Amino acid sequence: MIDVLVAGGGPAGWAVAAACARLGLDTELADLAPDRPWRATYGSWRAELPADAHAAVAGSGSGAAIGTMEHRLGWDYVVLDNAVLRDRFAAAPVKVLKGRVRAARPESKGVTVDFDGGQRRAAILLDATGAPRSVLGASPRRTAAEQTAVGVVVDADAARNLVTPGSALFMDWRPHHSETGWPTFLYAVPVTSGRVLLEETSLARRPGFGLGVLRRRLHARLAHHGITVPSGDEERVRFPVDRPLPAPGDWRGPVVPFGAASPLVHPATGYSVATSLQLAPRVATAVRDALQRGGSAAAGIAAWQTVWSPAALAVHTLRRRSLESLLRFPPRLVPEFFDVFFALPERHRWTYLTGREDVAGSAAAMGALFAASPWWLRKRLVLGALDPRTPPQSVTQ
Ligand SMILES: Cc1cc2nc3c(=O)[nH]c(=O)nc-3n(C[C@H](O)[C@H](O)[C@H](O)COP(=O)(O)OP(=O)(O)OC[C@H]3O[C@@H](n4cnc5c(N)ncnc54)[C@H](O)[C@@H]3O)c2cc1C
């Protein structure tokens, strides 16, 4: 029996597998296609990255955002070189298995795992299979709210009108695509020193906003700025932002979700990669210590509690309420809402975006947002967060 089996070789699975192996735990990682490169463009705030991930930064810029006016955010935004990040993880002594993990049976002293390539026994299984959470089950209760986007990469020079060298435009809500309806924004970030990703993004919508409309808006926006759409690949984004936590009956002792499967996704921004990288060494340490003390059941509990402390659960609940508010906003008011948010004092903005275990700070940030809001926004913030109904969708895609 091995110590740790990780299902899923995305950034979260690799980060936690490498951290476990570096602590001397006998670790294996199973993925359907373990050699398939990570194709998504992964970004985060520089200060969110753990120290050892800084070597994988491929592009960076000073963060800015535009609601109806520009705000300098005071933090650097970075985009990762996926191959460099992955190679660093793969240097750890992790045994890689190719195959789909099909079932996991918790037993008294570990878990038996069936996968396409055979059967394995491990003290603990970490389910890092992404949003589908294909081992533990995603238990969706309703249509997911999804973030969707369509993007292209252009030369930094060509994008100079939109994003100046040395900058990263986190959000630009100006309707330069000339369409009304569901609000979408431009995300414009340097992927290397000379290339920029320009992505038309729907932050969250239930169901996700159509990629066809996003593509049309992206092309119209680029035309507005005199930028020719390149003929090469485009990035297509679609992932859920409100996957439920496993129900008490779904969570099975030594089988613990990690990464987007957990779900570590920030409900109001869609970010999870930096959080997974930060938590991976803490989870590995908790698992090692618990295995030494009490065996597999203790390791499962320790891993779960490291990821989902009472504080993390409380902040997650607050963020989910914010997401529900946002989903119900009248489209024309969204850019003004972001003006109010980005004008908050830096500590509130930072805590809201990154402080996943800071209950008092998150509550204070939301209180400050409420206090800084005009009456029409206050009404929306309160009613949206309290209204359990799915918002009516009036926009034709
Ligand atoms: C295009 C795109 C851009 C994104 N950009 C960002 C960003 O900038 N910043 C950010 O924080 N987040 C971003 N996200 C959101 C999110 O962070 C990513 O989805 C991220 O990939 C999640 O990492 P993960 O390792 O948890 O899961 P995944 O990357 O989804 O990895 C899951 C892995 O599990 C494997 N797998 C699935 N089922 C099984 C099974 N049964 N058995 C074995 N293997 C299995 C899959 O093959 C895959 O390799 C983006 C998402 C997309 C789609």
pLDDT tens profile 91-119? 999 999 999 999 999 988 899 999 997 89
Mean pLDDT of the chain: 92
Residue 246: what pLDDT?
Answer: 83
pLDDT at residue 394 in the model: 34
pLDDT for res 389: 52
Residue 214 near ligand 1, beta carbon < 6 Å: no
- Report the pLDDT value the prediction gives residue 390, as an integer from 0 to 100: 46
Sign of CA dihedral 191, 196, 202, 207: negative
Q: For a substitution probing ligand 1, which of 78, 129, 283 has the most ligand atoms within 8 Å of its CB?
A: 129
Do 285 and 303 touch, CB atoms closer than 8 A? Answer: no
Give every CB contact of residue 66 below 8 A, 6+ residues apart in sequence: 169, 171, 172, 173, 174
* pLDDT at 47 > cutoff 50: yes
pLDDT at 385: 63
Per-residue model confidence (pLDDT) at position 332? 86
Please tell me the residue having the least CA distance from ligand 1 atom 39: 129
Tens of pLDDT, residues 307-344 = 999 999 999 999 998 898 889 888 888 999 999 999 99
Decide: 128 in ligand 1 pocket, CB within 6 A: yes
Distances (CA, A) of 252 to 13, 116, 134, 249, 283: 18, 22, 14, 7, 17
DSSP E strand boundaries for the chain: 2-7, 27-31, 43-45, 57-66, 70-80, 95-98, 101-107, 110-115, 118-127, 146-155, 167-172, 185-190, 195-205, 235-240, 255-257
Three-state secondary-structure class, residue 125: strand
Ligand 1 atom nearest to CA at 275:
11
Arithmetic mean of pLDDT, 69-92: 97
> Above 90 in pLDDT, residue 76?
yes
120 pLDDT more than 80: yes
Residue 96 near ligand 1, beta carbon < 6 Å: no
118 or 178, higher pLDDT: 178
Q: Which of 29, 32, 199 to mutate to test the pocket of ligand 1 (most atoms within 8 A of CB)?
A: 32
* Ligand 1 lined by 241 (C-beta under 6 Å): no
Mean pLDDT of 366-376: 91
